[in-house]
């Protein structure tokens, strides 16, 4: 694998006036989308039992009760408890583009984007992947690998490493870009990103 020395990144994407608010919103949208919202508790109408009144309305000296499955009873339903919901938020297309460009600009300015001619391994071995990252001096960093087409050897070699994340250009998102210490991309992937964000 040869490191590309002279490659010009598009200034329209990798050197724009950044917008912190839009980046923050994009991260919030991404994190909200990851929330499952699949919890559920039973209300008094869903708990089994409690069909009849436990004692008569008047004359017992006790407080009036209509059901033994009301919220104040042990084993009763839950009042105002959580129910399944969708946490996902929406974001305008122009804002999404601006957020991605801003995130990529941050990385480019901090010199945290490494562009190589081609990312490939001859054998699907984790130690080969580690050796490749050591050659680029990023073995102990969180690395986002962006490839034009994910190579099976790369997937097999990197899936055991907790600091490696792999994706194709169309999957790029602000949360993963910001979370990574470095972006390792091949030339073809960078071209696709530039075309998509123009």
* Mean pLDDT within 14-26: 92
* Mean pLDDT within 10-26: 91
Residue 167 confidence (pLDDT): 92
Tens-place pLDDT, residues 65-106: 999 999 999 999 999 999 999 999 999 999 999 999 999 999
Residue 118 confidence (pLDDT): 86
Q: Is pLDDT of 41 > 90?
A: yes
CA distance 104 to 87: 26
Q: For residue 178, what are the domain limits? A: 11-19+92-197
Residue 77 domain-assigned (yes or no)? no
Better-scored residue on pLDDT, 4 or 58: 58
Residue 98 domain-assigned (yes or no)? yes
The whole-chain average pLDDT of the chain stands at 91
Residue 78 confidence (pLDDT): 95
Residue 87 confidence (pLDDT): 94
Contact 112, 183 (CB under 8 A): yes
Q: Which of 38-42, 151-155, 171-175 has the lowest mean pLDDT?
A: 151-155
Residue 162 domain-assigned (yes or no)? yes
Residue 69 makes CB contacts below 8 A (sequence gap 6+) with: 44, 47, 48, 49, 50, 75, 76, 77
Q: Is pLDDT of 3 > 60?
A: no
- pLDDT category of residue 168 using cuts at 50, 70 and 90: very high
CA distance 70 to 77: 6
Residue 2 confidence (pLDDT): 52
- pLDDT category of residue 150 using cuts at 50, 70 and 90: confident
CATH number of the domain encompassing residue 146: 3.40.1370.10
Dihedral class, residue 61 (left if φ above 0, else alpha if ψ from -120 to 50, else beta): left
CA distance 51 to 69: 9
CA distance 144 to 175: 11
Q: Which helix (H) or strand (E) holds 185?
A: strand 182-186
Residue 153 domain-assigned (yes or no)? yes
pTM here is 0.78
Tens-place pLDDT, residues 106-145: 999 998 999 988 888 889 999 999 999 998 888 899 999 9
Q: What is the torsion angle, in degrees rounded to the nearest 10, for the CA atoms of residue 23, residue 27, residue 32 and residue 35? A: 170
- Domains held by the chain: number: 1
């Amino acid at each position: 694998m040869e490191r590309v020395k002279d490659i010009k990144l598009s200034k329209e994407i990798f050197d724009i006036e950044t917008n912190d608010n839009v980046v923050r919103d994009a991260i919030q949208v991404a994190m909200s989308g990851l929330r499952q919202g699949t919890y559920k508790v039973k209300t008094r109408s869903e708990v089994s039992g409690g069909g009849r009144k436990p004692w008569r309305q008047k004359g017992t000296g006790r407080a009036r009760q209509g059901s033994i499955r009301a919220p104040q009873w042990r084993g009763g339903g839950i009042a105002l408890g959580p129910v399944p919901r969708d946490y996902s938020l929406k974001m305008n297309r122009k804002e999404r583009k601006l957020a991605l460009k801003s995130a990529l600009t941050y990385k480019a300015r901090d010199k945290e984007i490494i562009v190589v001619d081609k990312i490939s391994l001859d054998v699907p071995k984790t130690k080969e992947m580690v050796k490749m990252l050591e050659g680029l001096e990023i073995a102990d960093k969180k690395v986002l690998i962006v490839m034009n087409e994910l190579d099976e050897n790369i997937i097999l070699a990197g899936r055991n490493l907790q600091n490696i994340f792999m994706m194709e250009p169309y999957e790029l998102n602000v949360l993963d870009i910001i979370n990574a210490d470095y972006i390792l991309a091949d030339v073809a992937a960078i071209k696709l990103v530039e075309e998509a964000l123009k």
